[in-house]
Amino acid sequence: MTEISLTATETPAAFPIPTGVFAETVTEVQHYTDRLFRFRITRPASFRFRSGEFVMIGLPNAEKPVYRAYSIASPSWDEEIEFYSIKVPDGPLTEHLQKIREGDTVLMRKKPTGTLVHDALLPGKRVYMFSTGTGIAPFASLIRDPETYEKFDEVILTHTCREIEELTYGENLVRELLEDPLVGEMAAGRLRHYATVTREAYHQTGRITDLMRSGKLFEDLGVPPITPETDRGMICGSMAMLHDTKQALEEFGLVEGSNNKPASFVVERAFVD
């Protein structure tokens, strides 16, 4: 891996912007914990994406920059692009990315892609968005997209983290969304946020897979158990979480869909190593 040690703030003329890549300016950075942060960059006028998609991002700190897939956390109508990231000690990208400041440059490949999109899901009454950790990012985009509320009567966002402080991004997101003049009215009374932690005492604890299998998730929400007739699912988290949540949904009779063949649930791997 070609990478030299410059801080994220240095953009040496020796490394020109590669072709097929946008060079965008950081507009905001917010750190939540020593493992989590969010940042926003300017949006190129020609950049179009579907809410829920991901894009490859990197830093201009090497001749061959390291790129990683990041879900776009902002909705497709937003003027800026938002990302929510983990900080991996010695991670080839995040080691540098976590140091970015307002005014720095971030590279973004031009082509977004992904399966956590409306096109891959059949319409239904209720959509569940199952996330762990930074896997909430694509749903931060989708729950701010009016199409979500056109397609589904109820939107249930589940977010499970190890510790309570890791829930902050999702809590702020939902609160601010409900105050938003464009989407707030649409989401009111229809967006439910179900947050749990697994390694601390909290009013809701446990892995989402266990809460589904025991039925506690449905009891807490006051909804019937998942059925393929009414319910749809979207999953984003670690590889293990994706595997186990997919299995749980299949036990409820849901079928995995794709862009070419929409069905009742979709899965996305949550970036960054």
Report the interface residues with ligand A2P, using CB under 6 A.
132-133, 160-162, 198-199, 207-209, 238, 240-241, 244
CB of 237 to ligand A2P, least distance (A): 6
Question: Reduced to 3 states, what is the DSSP secondary structure of residue 212?
Answer: helix
User: What is the rounded distance in angstroms from the CA atom of residue 94 to the CA atom of residue 77?
Assistant: 27
Tokens of 249: 């949904």
CB of 235 to ligand A2P, least distance (A): 10
Task: Name the residue nearer to ligand A2P (CB basis): 81 or 161.
Answer: 161
CB of 198 to ligand A2P, least distance (A): 3
Task: Name the residue nearer to ligand A2P (CB basis): 98 or 209.
Answer: 209
Return the closest-CA partner of residue 172 out of 201, 147, 218, 136: 136
Q: Which residues pair with residue 68 across a beta bridge? A: 57
Rg of the chain (C-alpha set): 19
Return the closest-CA partner of residue 190 out of 235, 146, 131, 160: 146
Asked whether the beta carbons of 153 and 126 are under 8 A apart, the reply is yes
Amino acid letter at 268?
A: E
User: What is the rounded distance in angstroms from the CA atom of residue 63 to the CA atom of residue 145?
Assistant: 37
Task: Name the residue nearer to ligand A2P (CB basis): 75 or 133.
Answer: 133
Task: Name the residue nearer to ligand A2P (CB basis): 148 or 245.
Answer: 245
CB of 243 to ligand A2P, least distance (A): 7
Task: Name the residue nearer to ligand A2P (CB basis): 41 or 254.
Answer: 254
